[in-house]
Amino acid sequence: MNNVTLARATMGTSLGFHIVFAVLGVGLPLLMFVAEGLWLWRRDPGWLELARRWSKAFGILFAVGAVSGTALSFELGLLWPGFMAFSGSIIGLPFSAEGFAFFLEAVFLALYLYGWDRLSPVAHWLTSIPIAVSGAASSLFVVMANAWMNSPAGFHLDAAGKLVSVDPLAAALNPSTATEDPHMLVSAYVVTGFLVAAVYAAGMLRGRTDLHHRRGLALGMAMAAPAIALAGITGDSSARFIYQAQPVKFAAMEGLYQTQRGAPIHLGGIPSDSQHRVLFAIEIPYGLSLLAAFDPNAQVQGLDSYPPDLRPNPVVVHLSFDTMAGLGTLLGLLALGFWILVVRGRRLPLQRRLLWALVVAGPAAAVTMEAGWFVTEFGRQPWIVYGLIRTSQAATSAPALGATFGVFLAIYALLALTSARLLLRLARGARQAGA
C-alpha cells in the first residue's frame, strides 16, 4: 500500500474508533443529569444507583475517548501535513474552541467522578450540566472543521495560490455547518439512547426485569426516540444541501450515472462504472427528484458529467448511504413501535422479540452513524478540501507508515476489547445489584 492509502486507513480507523466513544461522551452526561435529578426530586435511591452506574461506565469511556481524540489531533498533522499547512490557520478557531470545551468537560467530569463524597448532592448534580453542555459543544465545534472540508470558506488566496487572509468565523460557519452540525449532534443522542437501551434489554432477556432495568431501558428509549426523529429531519436537509453544494457526492450516494430530469431512487444495488447504472437495485421512479427538490421533474446531475478522476467511489458511497438511511428508518420504526406499545399498555413492553430487536438496535445505531461518516468522507473524495486540495497531495511522505498503521490497529483492537469487557462486567454488576 502507498502512503496515501495507509494515511487514509490510519485516519479512518482512528476516527471510526473515536466517534463511538465521543458520541457516548455527548449523550451519557445528559442521561446522568436526568437520573441524578430524578433522585434529588423524588429521593428514590434507585435513580441515584442508575446515575452512579453510568458514571462508572463513563469514566472508562471518557478516558478512551480522550486519548483517541488526542491521537486525532496529532494525526491531522502527522498524516496530512500538506492539508494542515494550508488549513490550520483557517479552521483553527473551532479546534481551539473545542479544546476549551474538552477542557471544561474533563474538569467537571473529574469533579463528578471523584466528587460523590466531597460535594453536596446538589453541587454534584450541577457538575453534570457543564459536562453535558461542553460534550455537545465539542462535537459541534469539531464537525465545523469537517464541514469546512466539504464547503471551504472564509479565506482569500493571491494569484499564486498563497493564503493572504482568513476569516475564521466565516470558515467555522461555512455553508455545510448548518446541516452537518445538527445531524451529528442528534445522531450522538440516537447512538447513546439505543446503546443504553440495548444493555438493559439484554439484561431483561436474562430475566432481570426489575425496576433498575426498566428505568434504564425507559431513559435510553426516551433519548433515542426524539433523537432518531430529528436525525431523519436533519439528515433529509443534509442530503438536500448536498444536492445543491456537492452534486457529485449526491450522485454517488444515489448511484445516478446519467444527468436527468425525473431521476429515480435506487434502493440497494451495486453501482457499475462499466455499465453506467446500478445493478440489482429497486427503482422508485421520480423518487430522487422529488426528494432532492420536491419536484418530480427536477434535474439531478449524474456521475457521468464528471471526469472519472473527480468522482468518489460510488459503490462505497451508495451502499453506505443506503445502510445509513435503511437502518435509520428501521430504528425510527422500532422507537415509534416501542412507545406506542408503552402508551397502549401503560407499562414497558417486555415481549422477547421486541427486547431482542432493542438489543440489536444498539450496535445497529452505531453502524448507522459510522455509515453516515462513510458517506461524508468517501463522498468527498478525491478531495481532502473539496475542490481545492486532493487527498493524494496532502498525505505525509514519512517512512514506516505501514508499521505505525499496524501498531494503531493493534492498540485500538486492544482498547475496544478491554473497554467492552469492563463495561459488560459493570452491566453484570448492575444486574446483581438490581436483583
The minimum distance between CB 191 and another protein, in angstroms, equals 21
Within 110-129, which residues bind another protein (CB under 8 A)? 110-111, 113-115, 118-119
According to CB under 8 A, which one of 27, 396, 430, 434 is a site residue for another protein?
396
DSSP secondary structure letters along 229-289: HHHHHHHHHHHHHHHHH-HHHHHHHHT--S-EESPPEEES-EEETTTTEEETPEEETTHHH
Q: Which of 4, 71, 239, 325 binds another protein (CB under 8 A)?
A: 71
- In 7-159, the DSSP E strands lie at 155-157
Q: How far is the CB of 35 from another protein (least distance, A)?
A: 18
Closest CA to 349 of 197, 214, 216, 211: 214
Q: For residues 113 and 330, which CB has a smaller minimum distance to another protein in the complex? A: 113
168 contacts another protein (rule: CB under 8 A): yes
Residue 402 phi/psi, 5° resolution? Answer: -65, -45
Q: Please state, as a whole number, how many other Cβ atoms lie within 10 Å of the Cβ of residue 171.
A: 24
Q: Which of 33, 47, 54, 62 binds another protein (CB under 8 A)?
A: 62
The answer to the question of residue 51 lying near another protein (CB under 8 A) is no
Q: CB of 435: closest distance to another protein in angstroms? A: 19
Q: State which of positions 76-105 bind another protein (CB under 8 A).
A: 76-78, 81-82, 84-90, 92-93, 95-100, 102-104
Nearest-angstrom CA–CA distance, 362 and 17: 16
C-alpha cell at 80: 496530512
Contact 227, 186 (CB under 8 A): yes
Nearest in space to 287 (alpha carbons), one of 268, 262, 269: 262
- Asked if residue 6 binds another protein (CB under 8 A), the reply is no
Cα–Cα distance for residue pair 12/316, rounded to 1 Å:
14
CB 168 within 8 A of CB 154: yes
Size of the site for another protein (CB under 8 A): 71
- Listing DSSP states for 400-423 in one string gives -HHHHHHHHHHHHHHHHHHHHHHH
Q: Which residues pair with 270 in a beta bridge?
A: 279
- 77's enclosing H/E stretch is helix 45-79
Cβ 37 to another protein shortest distance, Å: 21
Q: Of 249-257, 323-331, 372-380, 415-423, which part binds another protein (CB under 8 A)?
A: 415-423
Q: Does 67 sit near another protein (CB under 8 A)?
A: yes
Residues 148-167 that bind another protein (CB under 8 A): 163-167
Stretch that binds another protein, among 22-30, 57-65, 219-227, 263-271 (CB under 8 A): 57-65
* Minimum gap (Å) between residue 83 Cβ and another protein: 8
Distances (CA, A) of 88 to 84, 131, 180, 181: 5, 27, 20, 20
Give whole-number Cα distances, 424 to 40, 60, 156, 430, in Å. 28, 12, 52, 10
49 binds another protein (CB under 8 A): no
60 touches another protein by CB under 8 A? yes
Say whether residue 230 binds another protein (CB under 8 A).
no
Minimum CB separation of residue 66 from another protein in Å reads 6
Q: Please say which residue, 98 or 377, places its beta carbon nearer to another protein.
A: 98
Comparing CB distances to another protein, the nearer of 118 and 353 is 118
Q: Please tell me whether residue 133 binds another protein under the rule CB under 8 A.
A: no
Give the other-Cβ count within 10 Å of 57's Cβ: 20
Q: Is 413 in the site for another protein (CB under 8 A)?
A: no
Q: Which one of the spans 109-117, 175-183, 246-254, 339-347 is the region binding another protein (CB under 8 A)? A: 109-117
Shortest spacing between CB 379 and another protein, in angstroms = 25
Contacts of 333 (CB under 8 A, 6+ apart): none
Contacts to another protein from residues 306-345, by CB under 8 A: none
Q: Where in 344-363 is the site for another protein (CB under 8 A)? A: none
Answer for which of 56, 208, 240, 277 binds another protein (CB under 8 A) is 56
Strands 277-279 and 383-385: unpaired
Q: How far is the CB of 434 from another protein (least distance, A)?
A: 19
The C-alpha cell of 202 is what?
Answer: 439484554
CB 126 to another protein: min, Å: 11
If one asks whether residue 29 binds another protein (CB under 8 A), the answer comes out as: no
